[in-house]
Chain A
Amino acid sequence: MGCDARSVAAAVVAAAGVVGEHRDELVRLDQAMGDADHGENLRRGFGFVVSALDESTPDTPGAVLKLVASVLISKVGGAAGPLFGTSFLRAAGAVGAAEELTPELVSAALGAALGGVVARGKAELGDKTMVDALAPAASARGADIPTLLTAAAIAADAGAESTIPLVARKGRASYLGERAIGHLDPGARSVALLLRSFANSAMGL
């Protein structure tokens, strides 16, 4: 079975479940360095996404990603809404009107998602942000989608872990200076969780 709109929508719904399961963990990570809203905002946002997908499943993978983007941008607020929303919007643009995703399109989508986050948030690698997970994930390669997404998820996990010793240079954690050292960046963690969930969904296809 190919990776069509229905399977992308199912992967998004599964990812929403993962976000819900990790809500408290993400809140705790954000509580340590920020304002303790990340887990709740992401849970709230993906809850709206699931409701929107319940009402109608768009025809193409790109249209599903675009729907996710518009819901996250219009309903979440904070930094996560525009940044995660922009990443899905750029990913949607990269896959265009294709009926089914290919490894090349997934790779292009990850690259575009990274480009969007960097353009909106102006963060660079090593600033202790979601970019530290998304950038290595976007460089991952694979002959098929499950292999590619698994490699991306592993790279994102390592990237998220790499934020622990860093000083934050963007976002609310940047106010902490050296006191941010020793904490995992919640945005990088949620990128890793989403990619792991997408990889698991792809393996079930």
Chain B
Amino acid sequence: MKKIINNPADVVTDALRGLAAAHPALLRVTRDPAVVAWAGSPVAGKVAVISGGGSGHEPLHTGFVGPGMLDAACPGAVFTSPTPDQVQAAAAQVDGGAGVLLLVKNYTGDVLNFETAAEFLDNTRTVLIDDDVAVQDSSFTAGRRGVGATVLVEKIAGAAAAAGADLDTCARLAEAVVAGARSMGLALTAPTVPHVGSPSFVLPEDEVEVGIGIHGEPGRRREPLTDASALVAALLEPILDDLPFVAGDEVLLFTNSMGGTPLLELYLAHGIAEELLAARGITVIRRLVGPYVTSLDMQGISLTLLRLDPALTDLWDAPVHTAALRWGM
């Protein structure tokens, strides 16, 4: 393992210290329990939007804290959900009296810990994010995973809260994004978890793992490594078939790097996805390209499509100022 770390056990704490140093005016970072809050919170009368999850997916979720998006994020240990006391501490810091919206990726640990926290909090709504089409049969699994759509849910719900929407409206909009978004990812290499020290799985040079999650957990199947056009199509087809997305739809296309894939390849993949969508009569009206939902140093990409309507589009376009996403302010 070659990483820029001191003690593997201190990776998250040390990184949070750096995050605080990098954004002193924007963020208020507290420890024991670890919470990253927007320095401007709480805002009286505004719904507070809180998310969180295991570390190792940066900039998710801490990089999306700020006006127009999250009021607070709770970073857990690497690939481990945060604890209930983190969520309670975050709510205590940022609740402006209009309720707390908890945005939770659908993993067993995240659901259990946020559920426990919610039992101790008043006036909360929880929205589960489960956009990964690689998990097919939800009746025999823990259900679909929350992956790329998380960024879109956080942005749109955060914009609604900033615009003064009440808790039920914010939750309804978050659910609308979950309902209209689908994702799928693939990996060329596995991530190396700092406290483990070796890659989570080994992929031969000529194979890709299709249907990968964001925790180094293996995907659904391995396939021969082909060219970019075939790989992008292998991700896009199951996404399109699942919702389904049809000719005439207007969409947001989010092409995400898993952390180790360079932007050169990411833009290459994005260009192919745009061409494939155009050929299907689906119009891409908004884009996001970059490493936003990562899996440490894993090489790979995911695609997320969100069907837009004018209301969701306006909320996506609304001003935001976070460490990782910033426009309009």
Contacts and interface: CB of A to CB of B under 8 A. Distances in A.
A168 B220 CA distance: 13
Nearest to A177: B220
A176 B112 contact: no
A80 B108 CA distance: 10
Contacts of B109: 77-82
Interface stretch (A35-43, A96-104, A190-198): A35-43
Interface stretch (B209-217, B237-245, B260-268): B209-217
A34 B54 CA distance: 14
Contacts, number: 116
Interface stretch (A1-9, A68-76, A138-146, A157-165): A68-76
Interface string B305-327: 00000000000000000000000
A36 to B, nearest CB: 5
A115 B125 CA distance: 27
B142 A77 contact: no
Given A172-B107, A172-B142, A175-B141, A37 B79 contact: yes
B188 to A, nearest CB: 19
Interface string B107-119: 1110011001000
Contacts of A31: 196, 200-201, 216
Output the residue of B141, B200, B201, B219 with the most chain A CB within 10 A. Answer: B141
Interface in A14-58: 27, 31, 33-37, 40-41, 44
A92 interface: no
A77 B113 contact: yes
Contacts of B215: 34-35, 172
Nearest to A76: B83
A193 B220 CA distance: 30
A121 B217 CA distance: 20
A169 B200 CA distance: 21
Contact of B213 (A168, A169, A175): A175
Interface string B185-220: 000000001011000110000000000010111111
Contact of A175 (B113, B145, B196, B201): B145
A200 interface: no
B101 interface: no
Contacts of B98: none
A40 B216 CA distance: 16
A35 B77 CA distance: 12
Given A31-B200, A82-B116, A172 B217 contact: yes
A130 to B, nearest CB: 12
A79 B108 CA distance: 6
B209 to A, nearest CB: 11
A174 interface: yes
B84 A121 contact: no
Measured as residues with beta carbon below 8 angstroms from the partner, the interface class of chain B is 35 or more
Interface string B69-103: 00000001111111111000000000000000000
Contact of A81 (B113, B213, B219): B113
Contacts of A168: 141
Given A27-B196, A36-B216, A121-B108, A175 B80 contact: no
B142 A174 contact: yes
B200 A40 contact: no
Contacts of B193: 35-37
B229 to A, nearest CB: 27
A94 to B, nearest CB: 20
A79 B201 CA distance: 21
A20 B65 CA distance: 36
B214 to A, nearest CB: 9
Interface in A162-205: 167-177, 179
Contacts of B78: 37
Contact of B77 (A27, A77, A176, A179): A77
Nearest to B107: A172
Contact of B217 (A73, A75, A176): A176
Contacts of A175: 134-135, 141-142, 145, 213, 217, 219-220
A81 B83 CA distance: 8
Interface string B48-66: 0000001000000000000
Interface of A: 27, 31, 33-37, 40-41, 44, 73-83, 120-121, 167-177, 179
17 contacts: A31-B216, A33-B217, A33-B218, A34-B217, A35-B79, A35-B215, A73-B116, A74-B83, A74-B85, A75-B83, A78-B81, A82-B84, A83-B112, A172-B217, A174-B135, A174-B142, A175-B141
By Cβ-Cβ distance, the 4 closest A-B pairs, closest first, are: A174-B141, A35-B215, A79-B109, A82-B112
Given A35-B80, A121-B112, 10 more contacts: A40-B196, A74-B83, A77-B82, A77-B83, A78-B77, A79-B81, A79-B107, A121-B108, A175-B217, A175-B220
